[in-house]
Structure 1
Amino acid sequence: MASSKKSEHYVYILKCADETLYTGYTTDLEKRLQEHNGEGETISARSAGARYTSGRRPVVMVYSESYSSRSEAMSREFAIKKLTKKEKEILIKG
């Protein structure tokens, strides 16, 4: 029987230890944050964070948006990545 659970798709912004911002996409915010920080139960989980954030730990999630489809979330991720740092900071502050 097929699962009726709809998966959520998220776009998020992390603030790195060096004050830079990283934008990404995931279906599991908590797990992805752990991966970016090199945490996890397996070696592959600990090394699954983006190469960009691996040298800028710890990272903190400062913003996220939820979407019902992957395509919407990926489009939004692309749009956010094109913003300047100042524009991203305005988005984060709301």
Structure 2
Amino acid sequence: MFTVYILRSTKDGSLYVGYTTDLAQRVQTHNKGSVQSTKSKRPWKCFFAESYIAQEDALRREKYFKTTQGKNAVKHMLRETLKLSYS
């Protein structure tokens, strides 16, 4: 299975979209500071995930979530969750 995930920084509330075959391990990797693009905004919490059988479908969804339209869709879809404070 391929999982598209969205992380939220507990430091500043920013979002990060990615995909993986092992979600728990990938979140740990982000929180250890091993990913250059997320290192400065640690810690991260996963608050959304979708699983796909085909890698192509997961990649397509990840790519969509990274577009302006996709970012707006995420904010609309998860508007109540995004109101929560992780501080």
Give TM-score scaled by structure 1 length: 0.74
1:18 CA drift (Å):
1.1
Could you list the runs of 4 or more consecutive aligned residues of structure 1 that deviate by over 3 angstroms after TM superposition? none
| Residue number among 63, 69, 78 corresponding to 2:48 in the alignment | 63
1:91 aligns with 2:77: yes
CA distance in structure 1 between the aligned counterparts of 2:59 and 2:78, rounded to whole angstroms:
18
Q: Which protein shows a greater Rg?
A: 1
User: Which residue of the partner structure matches residue 85 of structure 2?
Assistant: none
1:13 aligns with 2:6: yes
Matches for 1:13-92 after TM superposition, within 5 Å: 13-16=6-9, 17-38=11-32, 47=34, 50-82=35-67, 83-84=70-71, 86-92=72-78
User: Which residue of the partner structure matches residue 83 of structure 2?
Assistant: none
1:53 CA drift (Å):
1.1
| Greater share of strand | 2
1:89 CA drift (Å):
2.2
How many residue pairs match? The answer is: 77
1:87 CA drift (Å):
2.9
Q: Please give the root-mean-square deviation of Cα atoms over the aligned residues, in Å.
A: 1.7
CA distance in structure 2 between the aligned counterparts of 1:55 and 1:71, rounded to whole angstroms:
30
1:52 CA drift (Å):
1.9
Letter of the 1:91 partner, please give it: M
What SS does the corresponding residue of 1:52 show, helix, strand or coil? Answer: coil
CA distance in structure 2 between the aligned counterparts of 1:78 and 1:34, rounded to whole angstroms:
22
Structure 1 gap segments, 5+ residues each: 1-7, 39-45
| Greater share of helix | 2
Structure 2 gap segments, 5+ residues each: 81-87
